[in-house]
Amino acid sequence: VDTIAYLRRFLTDSSSGVDVPAAILLETVQAEGGVNVARADWLRQLAALCHELGIVLIVDDIQVGNGRTGCFFSFEEAGIVPDLVVLSKAIGGGLPMSLLLIKPELDQWDPAEHNGTFRGNNLAFVAATTILQTYWQDDTLCHEVKAKEQVLAGGLGRIAAEWEGVATAVRGRGFIYGLELAPAGLAKKVSQHAFREGLIIETAGSRNQVVKCLPPLTLDSATLQQGLEIIQHSLRTALNS
């Protein structure tokens, strides 16, 4: 199904019953949604449609920005420029911080207008600045994440091949990957077994059917390998229990 053609039809047909929205907000990789990866071409077509119809394009890069997919922003590889970008999580290096990037022509706020008790946590600002200065002066981290992606995707692919029919998909970008397990409740069991073996791994998806790998971007190869072995072992244990 060409979902962009479907969307265009709805938004340009005045009898469709659907008004042109003020904005479209999306994740380029739906994280909690089950690690669903939007194609670069799909993103480009969506950005073009938004531009054509005057819809503000907002990318939620809270989970997959900050280098998670390799580049600093997850949409860079698609070559699109959203109107607004939401950033949080890793931007503060583990400290609470969130940012809203707005194209100047859309910014309605005056300086310091967006204030409140918890705005501008100074320690988080210092941590974020240090992270940007340490890791984002060049492309090194970006290349490292892409190299480690091969190991992660390859490892999950081998697990999926071993459990064909049980493991129904491996998908992701950069250092966010999901292993979809068809039997109800299996992903949760894997996560619980993995926890007992020292690996914290979450589940995602509408039925929590996906084991979601979101390792630290600075993870070393040996620890990555160890993590993959724990997932493999946990799956074996969960299936036999």
Ligand X SMILES: Cc1ncc(COP(=O)(O)O)c(C=O)c1O
Under the rule (CB under 6 A), what is the footprint of ligand X? 27, 31-32, 60, 62-63, 88, 98
36/98 with CB nearer ligand X = 98
CB of 121 to ligand X, least distance (A): 13
61/155 with CB nearer ligand X = 61
63/191 with CB nearer ligand X = 63
CB of 161 to ligand X, least distance (A): 30
109/118 with CB nearer ligand X = 118
CB of 26 to ligand X, least distance (A): 10
The span from the CA of 125 to the CA of 183, in Å, is 44
45/66 with CB nearer ligand X = 66
CB of 102 to ligand X, least distance (A): 17
CB of 66 to ligand X, least distance (A): 12
27/83 with CB nearer ligand X = 27
CB of 64 to ligand X, least distance (A): 7
Taking Cα atoms as reference points, which of 125, 149, 140 lies closest to residue 68? Answer: 149
